[in-house]
Amino acid sequence: EGKLEEKVEISLVDQIKMSDEKDLFHSVISNCIQLLVQYLEITCASALSAMNKIQWQTLESIGDQSNYVTALISHISATVELIKDNLFSSRKYFTQFCVRFVNSFIPKFTQNLYKCRPLSAVGAEQLLLDTHTLKTVLLHLPSVGCQVTLKVPPSYTKIVVKGMTRAEMVLKIVMT
């Protein structure tokens, strides 16, 4: 709008109003970001489904992260790196993507925790380890694939910490 105003006659400057176009542009960007979030959710769905199929009540020992967590991390990392590479010129939109993803993913993950029943104390402990691992990955999501460590926005960190801490608390209650 500013560039157009610079190039037209001064008498026409007052007639230039592009608020509708700006709104449409922002709407298109918002829809595109939402589609990217949905794509990432779809790639994570099979791993979340695998989480529910594990017999948590028969787990006898705690190991490293579960296979479903390895799959989730793989899907998330690969997809986020691809998206980041394509949104490289606009960190603002990439950050919006990350915020929308965690706002959508964390409640779905927590819902899947509730489906992991029956659950033994050992199973709950393994899920707690898995949840903590995912929390760590999600906290570093905005800087995935960067050689230089980027500062993660505090608002993003707050969303992840709040959501994943809630999931961890559910598991700690089950363990007691």
As a whole number of angstroms, the distance between CA 65 and CA 103 comes to 23
| Number of Cβ within a 10 Å radius of residue 99 | 19
Domain boundaries, the chain: 2-175
Domain 2-175 architecture = Up-down Bundle (1.20)
| Number of Cβ within a 10 Å radius of residue 82 | 14
| Structural tokens at position 131 | 């949840």
pTM for this entry: 0.86
Residue 1, pLDDT score = 66
**CB burial string 104-137: b at 16+ within 10 A, e below:** ebbeebbebbeebeebbebbbbbbbbbbbbbbeb
As a whole number of angstroms, the distance between CA 149 and CA 147 comes to 6
Ranges of residues in the chain with a pLDDT under 50 are none
Pick the closest to residue 108 from 33, 53, 31, 46 (CA basis).
46
The residues, any chain, with a CB within 8 Å of residue 83's CB and separated by 6 or more, are 36, 40, 94, 97
The residues, any chain, with a CB within 8 Å of residue 167's CB and separated by 6 or more, are 106, 109, 110, 113, 131
